[in-house]
Structure 1
Amino acid sequence: MPLTDVQIRQAKPGPKPRKFSDERGLFIEIRPTGSKLWRYRYKIDGVENVFAIGEYPEMGLADARAERDRARALVKQGRHPAHVRRLERARQKVENQSSFKVVALEWIATKSNVSESYRNQLTRAFAKNLFPYIGRLPVREVTAAQLLECLRRMESRGATYYAIALCNWLSQMFRFGVRTLRADADPAAVLYGAFVRKPIQHSQPMSAADIAKFREGLQSYGGFRTNTIALELLQLLFLRTVEIRRGRWEHVDLDVGLWDIPVELMKKGRRHLVPLPPRAVQLLRELKGITGGGELMFPGLRHPDKPVDGSTFNRALERLRMKGFTCHDFRATASTHLYESGLFRTEVIEMQLAHAEENRTKAAYNHAEYLQERRELMRWWQEYVLAAGN
């Protein structure tokens, strides 16, 4: 006679295991400890076997019967349910180790020929735009349509260029998956051309009027003082934003008026000397009173042990209503006006812009050879921008 849930619930343990049969081989075993275990008895090739289904009450009567029926179907095929379950668990374990997220992180870890910041960029791109949606899927099952949906989501928020870059990274990752026998093809390859890159807006120099507007805006800027200092330093020193962001106090000598940026902090991987004009020294002394207690000149607010976020200074520039300009345009501005002045040699201007010198021996020599001229250049540039702002 079939069991009822009331019978199972009220059944008490005895000094020895007790068995209560349901039907079609299903029974529940009640052990002296009080555990109630579902079992399925079956025969294959005349040999009786018992398959452990689950434990009551985590698995109720209806679920136990459903699991029994699945096991019976396997038995009819001559397959032992326990063997099938072990195979499924092994397969699932492999799939878990071959999920999109796992393979992506492994691929990123293999890129030993890139900088740590670049690997962090890759990790953030995948973590933000892909892992929440397809991270748990077996990499072999990820389709081009799923990838396209993720990339379109990026496009809709205006990150088209980023989506194009991520599509390229995806293709590299899937090829890695193929090489490690966890993917069969590269579904990202068919997405090439699905996104249209907007025309590149090249850096544009500020006119004297733009410089005046910028400096006027600095006077009334209501944001963090560190951001104001950073923007003015970007104008005075025309460094790349990443070089300002990652600046460390140990590399600055305010008494000598020199910022000696080591190769590991330069985009081009070459040491760069930055003569500091008086206004820059003044700003850096003020900044040191704010952030000088740490190693970083511009630490992040949430993570003081890491540089401020890359978009911080551009957002500050937007709040100054400098429409159409980015922080990188300070470099184009300095380059344009320095060349137009006719006062400085091309080699000196290019050296101060930290443009690549093909001959490394010559580059090392020029650092010292041009230093005095570069000091004069930086002082002239300071006077030019201060005059434009008056």
Structure 2
Amino acid sequence: MGKLNARKVAALAKDEPRKTADGNGLYFVVPASGEPFWILRFSINGSRPEMTLGSYPELSLADARDAAFQQRKLIKQGINPLAERQRRQWSGIETVEQLFDDWYKNDLQVRLQHANIPKRIYTKEIHPVMGKIRIDQVTALDVREVIKRVVDSGRKSIANDTLMYMKQLFRHANKLDLTQFNPAAAFRINDAGGVEKSRERVLTEDEIATVFRVFRENNVSFTRENYLACCLYLVLGVRNSELCQAPWDEFDLDNGIWELPKERTKNGIPLTIPLPRQALEWLQELKIRALDSDYVFPSRRRSKNPYMGSDTITTAIKYLFGRDKERPTKNKMEGVDYFVVHDLRRTFRTLASAEGIDGQVAERCLNHKLKGVEGIYNRHDFLEERREAHQKVADRICHLL
């Protein structure tokens, strides 16, 4: 146990210049001028160098002890942490923000089709806590703080993703030899959002009728655009972002076709989607509502993106269930179990089965890869079969919408 405590450190910071030992080589230094700071004195290769860990109060006593502990782990491995820091300075990658920029440009954008996903999570969840911190000063406490903020906001799935990306980010630092330590390595999924149960929610036809009636009755909070989007999700089975970010130039309404390019699909496989008669009518209405926008669902407010946010409809549904913490209201869904937008895609698959649609055709409607040998040798696109499938599902439920 160290000699200092938080109260002593706060008092020393206001006292006369001095260097006070906490133990195990960690010192709190109050200079004649400037901010107090922490140093670590250590022995390596016959010398006794000192290493600055950070300024106080930005680096608390607990953080300083954690940082010193991590540096001592490197020293035990024969690694000079001062040399490590100098290497980072030469590379131009000293802070977590600079580390992420390098990871994004030289790895994520090259390797991933949707590199914007980890970038969004870094920007929103990780950067506010540790973006400006030097790589060698990031501690497990910082990692825990990032995770805690996300979990406390009720987004357990995002907490798991955030932990995953922090581990990968610091592995990138390991790969570049910027540090030998990964502050996120010891954390497990149970430290974040926990093991996620696979969702199996499917809406029954009675529920579909109730849900869309509630949508209509609440057309101020649940707009006509939201309503038509949900109709399209049910009869097309596409993913949320594939529809809400769709530009008009992907659609050939005269021939009833939507050409979804590989750049916008989750698996990188392009898909020609045959549009049922009802979907064409809804899209014609959306064309009028979109005015001169290039997008089927243009953004309704000032935004960096010209299209509707992927969480817009999710938030609107959450409100009707009385689950929107920012706009509390009673549950208007009359006994219907909670669902999310993606459950409409799963519902489409169930409706297709109810119509007797062949499993391979239904899977291709969802743009799923066929498994095993079948996926290798069967490259048939099933376009006409899928056209029939989408039309059958639309005919089955159109009276419910």
Q: Same fold per TM (> 0.5)?
A: yes
Q: Deviations over 1:91-142 (max 9, x none)?
A: 7x939840121112212222234446x3222222222223223222211111
- Give the aligned partner of residue 325 of structure 1: 339
| Closer/same/farther in 2, CA of residues 164 and 351 from structure 1, 3 Å limit | closer
Could you list the runs of 4 or more consecutive aligned residues of structure 1 that deviate by over 6 angstroms after TM superposition?
none
List per-residue Cα deviations over 1:311-356 (Å, max 9, x = no partner): 11212233443542111111221222221333x3222222222221
CA contact (8 A) 2:163 2:192 kept: no
Per the alignment, residue 45 of structure 2 pairs with none
**Aligned CA distance change for structure 1 residues 214 and 167 (closer, same or farther; 3 Å):** same
User: What residue is the counterpart of 2:89 in the other structure?
Assistant: 94
Answering whether residue 227 of structure 2 is matched by residue 213 of structure 1, we say: no
Check conservation: 1:231, 1:317, Cα contact below 8 A.
no
Task: Identify the residue that residue 158 of structure 1 maps to in structure 2.
Answer: 154
Mapping for residues 1-390 of structure 1, pairs under 5 Å: 94=89, 97-110=93-106, 111-115=108-112, 118-192=114-188, 193-220=190-217, 221-222=219-220, 223-291=222-290, 293-301=292-300, 302-303=302-303, 305-320=305-320, 321=333, 323-342=337-356, 344-357=357-370, 359=375, 362-363=378-379, 366-367=380-381, 370-389=382-401
Q: Do the aligned partners of 2:260 and 2:270 also contact (CA within 8 Å) in 1?
A: yes
Q: Which digits, 9 at most, give the CA deviation of each residue in 1:232-278, with x for residues without a partner?
A: 11112121112112212112111211212122222222221222122
Partner of residue 55, structure 1: none
The answer (yes or no) to whether the contact 1:242–1:310 under 8 Å persists in 2 is yes
Change (3 A) 1:124 1:352: closer
Matched with 1:62 is none
- Offset at 1:307? 3.0
Decide whether aligned partners of structure 1 residues 130 and 349 sit closer, same or farther in structure 2, where only a CA change above 3 A counts. closer
Pick the structure with greater CA Rg: 1
Q: Which amino acid aligns with 1:205?
A: V
- Number of the residue aligned with 1:27: none
CA distance, structure 2, for counterparts of residue 374 and residue 146 of structure 1: 50
CA contact (8 A) 1:296 1:305 kept: no
**CA distance in 2 between partners of 1:361 and 1:303 (Å):** 45
2: CA distance between counterparts of 1:123 and 1:375? 37
Counterpart-to-counterpart distance in 2, 1:388 and 1:226: 18
Q: Distance in 2 between matches of 1:293 and 1:230?
A: 19
Q: Call closer, same or farther: CA 1:135–1:262 in 2, change over 3 Å.
A: closer
- Is the 1:203–1:328 contact (alpha carbons within 8 Å) kept by the matching residues of 2? no
Unaligned stretches of 5+ in structure 2? 1-31, 35-84, 321-332
In structure 1, how many angstroms separate the alpha carbons of the residues matched to 2:366 and 2:138? 45
Identical pairs, percent: 23
Label 1:224 to 1:127 Cα distance change in 2 as closer, same or farther (>3 A). same
Q: Which runs of 5+ in 1 are unaligned?
A: 1-64, 68-89
Aligned-residue offset at 1:151? 1.2
Q: Is the 8 A contact 2:275 2:390 kept in 1?
A: yes
Given that 2:95 and 2:133 are in contact with CA atoms closer than 8 Å, whether structure 1 keeps it comes out as: yes
Q: CA, structure 1 residues 155+377, in 2 after alignment: closer, same or farther (shift >3 Å)?
A: same
When residues 345 and 139 of structure 1 are mapped into structure 2, their CA distance, relative to the original with a 3 A threshold, is: same
Cα RMSD for the two superposed structures: 2.8
How many angstroms apart in 2 are the aligned matches of 1:324 and 1:94? 51
Partner of 1:75: none
- Between the aligned partners of 2:274 and 2:175, the Cα distance in structure 1 is 50
Paired residue type of 1:219: R
Shift of 1:162: 1.8
**1:180 corresponds to which letter in structure 2?**
L
Letter in 2 for 1:385: I
CA deviation digits over 1:130-173, x for unaligned, max 9? 32232222111111112112211211111222222222221222
Match of 2:227, SS? helix
Aligned pair in 2 of structure 1 residues 360, 283: CA closer, same or farther (>3 Å)? farther
